[in-house]
Structure 1
Amino acid sequence: MKSGGVGGGGNAPTKRRWRGLVLGVLGLVLLSMLVPLVFLLGFHNGFQSPGFVSEQSSASNPIRGYIKDSSRDTPDLSEGDQSRHVDDLVRRLAPTLSKDIFKKSKPKEETIGGVTVHDDVPRKASPAPAKKVPRVSPTINTRADGPTHITKNPKYVDESGKQCELKYGSFCLWRQEHKEEMKDSMVKKLKDKLFVARAYYPTIAKLPAQDKLSREMKQNIQEFERILSETSTDADLPSQVQKKLQKMDAVIARAKSFPVDCNNVDKKLRQIFDMTEDEANFHMRQSSFLYQLAVQTMPKSLHCLSMRLTVDYFKSPSDVELSLTEKYMDPALQHYVIFSKNVLASSAVINSTVMHAKESVNQVFHVLTNGQNYYAMKQWFIRNTYKEATVRVLNIEALNLENQNLELSLPVEFRVSFHSVDNPPVAQMRTEYLSTFSHSHYLLPQIFQNLKRVVVLDDDVIVQQDLSALWSLNMGGKVNGAVQMCSVRLNLLKSYLGERSFDKNSCVWMSGLNVIDLDKWREVDLTETYGRLLKELSMGEGLSEAVASLLSFQDLIYVLDDAWALSGLGYDYGLDIKAIKRAAVLHYNGNMKPWLDLGIPKYRHYWKNFRNQEDQFLSECNVSP
Structure 2
Amino acid sequence: MKSGGGGLGAAVPSYGVPAKRRWRGFVIAVLGLVILSMLVPLVFLLGLHNGFHSSGYIYEQRSSPTNQKSLETFERHDVAKDENQSEGRQSKHVQELITKFQPTLPKDVLKNYSRGDKDRTVNGGANNDKQRGFTAPPKGVQQSPPPPPPTSNNPRGGHVEQVSHPKTSSADENGKSCELTFGSYCLWQQEHREDMKDAMIKKLKDQLFVARAYYPSIAKLPAQDKLSRQLKQSIQELEHILSESTTDADLPPLVENNSQKMEVATARAKSVPVDCNNVDKKLRQIFDLTEDEADFHMKQSAFLYKLNVQTMPKSHHCLSLKLTVEYFKSSHDEEKADAEKFFDSSLHHYVIFSNNVLAASVVINSTVTHAKESQNQVFHVLTDGENYYAMKLWFLRNNYKEAAVEVLNIEHLELDNQKENPLQLSLPEEFRVSFTSYDNPSMGQIRTKYISIFSHSHYLLPDIFSKLKKVVVLDDDVVIQKDLSALWNLDMGDKVNGAVQFCSIKLGQLKSYLGEKGFSHNSCAWMSGLNIIDLVRWRELGLTQTYRRLIKEMNIQEGSGAWRASLLAFENKIYPLDKSWVLSGLGHDYTIDTHAIKTSPVLHYNGKMKPWLDLGIPNYKSSWKKFLNKEDQLLSECNVNS
Classify the TM-score, shorter chain: 0.5 to 0.7
Residue type at the aligned position of 1:193 = V
Distance (whole Å) between structure 2 residues aligned to residue 568 and residue 240 of structure 1: 49
Residue type at the aligned position of 2:229 = Q
Partner of 1:519: 536
Distance (whole Å) between structure 1 residues aligned to residue 440 and residue 265 of structure 2: 51
Partner of 1:440: 457
Partner of 2:236: 226
2:203 is aligned with 1:193:
no
For the residue of structure 1 that corresponds to 2:591, the secondary structure is coil
Q: Does the CA-based 8 Å contact 1:537-1:544 persist in structure 2?
A: no
2:360 is aligned with 1:343:
no
Q: Does the CA-based 8 Å contact 2:438-2:506 persist in structure 1?
A: no
Partner of 1:315: 329
Distance (whole Å) between structure 2 residues aligned to residue 424 and residue 555 of structure 1: 24
Q: In the TM superposition, what whole-angstrom CA distance separates every residue of 1:64-113 from its partner, at most 9, and x where no partner exists?
A: xxxxxxxxxxxxxxxxxxxxxxxxxxxxxxxxxxxxxxxxxxxxxxxxxx
1:570 is aligned, of 569, 583, 587, to 587
**What does 1:101-500 correspond to in 2, within 5 Å?**
181=198, 184-198=201-215, 200-201=217-218, 205=221, 211=223, 214-215=224-225, 217-228=227-238, 230-231=240-241, 232=243, 233=245, 235-236=251-252, 238-255=255-272, 258=273, 260-404=274-418, 405-418=422-435, 430-500=447-517
Partner of 1:613: 630
Tell me, which stretches of 5 or more residues in structure 1 are unaligned? 1-178
For the residue of structure 2 that corresponds to 1:403, the secondary structure is helix
In structure 2, relative to structure 1, the CA distance for the partners of 1:304 and 1:521 (3 Å cut) is same
Q: Does the CA-based 8 Å contact 1:439-1:545 persist in structure 2?
A: yes
Partner of 2:46: none
For the residue of structure 2 that corresponds to 1:365, the secondary structure is strand
For the residue of structure 2 that corresponds to 1:388, the secondary structure is coil
Partner of 1:558: 575
Partner of 1:544: 561
Alpha-carbon shift at residue 368 of structure 1 (Å):
0.6
Distance (whole Å) between structure 2 residues aligned to residue 182 and residue 201 of structure 1: 28
Alpha-carbon shift at residue 240 of structure 1 (Å):
1.8
Residue type at the aligned position of 2:285 = Q
Partner of 1:597: 614
Distance (whole Å) between structure 1 residues aligned to residue 197 and residue 352 of structure 2: 38
In structure 2, relative to structure 1, the CA distance for the partners of 1:531 and 1:422 (3 Å cut) is closer
Alpha-carbon shift at residue 309 of structure 1 (Å):
0.9
Q: Does the CA-based 8 Å contact 1:190-1:224 persist in structure 2?
A: no
User: Which range moved further: 527-536 or 493-502?
Assistant: 493-502
Distance (whole Å) between structure 2 residues aligned to residue 577 and residue 540 of structure 1: 41
Distance (whole Å) between structure 2 residues aligned to residue 443 and residue 344 of structure 1: 24
Alpha-carbon shift at residue 425 of structure 1 (Å):
11
Provide the TM-score with structure 1 as the length reference.
0.66
* Higher RCO, Cα 8 Å, sep 6+: 1
Residue type at the aligned position of 2:230 = N
Distance (whole Å) between structure 2 residues aligned to residue 238 and residue 446 of structure 1: 69
- Structure 1 vs Structure 2 CA RMSD: 2.4
Which has more radius of gyration? Answer: 2
Give identity over the alignment, percent: 59
Q: In the TM superposition, what whole-angstrom CA distance separates every residue of 1:542-582 from its partner, at most 9, and x where no partner exists?
A: 55311110010011000000011111000000112222223
Residue type at the aligned position of 1:531 = R
Residue type at the aligned position of 1:324 = D
For the residue of structure 1 that corresponds to 2:505, the secondary structure is strand
In structure 2, relative to structure 1, the CA distance for the partners of 1:394 and 1:285 (3 Å cut) is same
Distance (whole Å) between structure 2 residues aligned to residue 602 and residue 183 of structure 1: 31
Partner of 1:528: 545
Distance (whole Å) between structure 2 residues aligned to residue 406 and residue 303 of structure 1: 23
In structure 2, relative to structure 1, the CA distance for the partners of 1:282 and 1:564 (3 Å cut) is same
In structure 2, relative to structure 1, the CA distance for the partners of 1:565 and 1:238 (3 Å cut) is closer
Partner of 2:603: 586
Distance (whole Å) between structure 2 residues aligned to residue 372 and residue 588 of structure 1: 24
Q: Does the CA-based 8 Å contact 1:365-1:392 persist in structure 2?
A: yes
Tell me, which stretches of 5 or more residues in structure 2 are unaligned? 1-195
Alpha-carbon shift at residue 321 of structure 1 (Å):
3.8
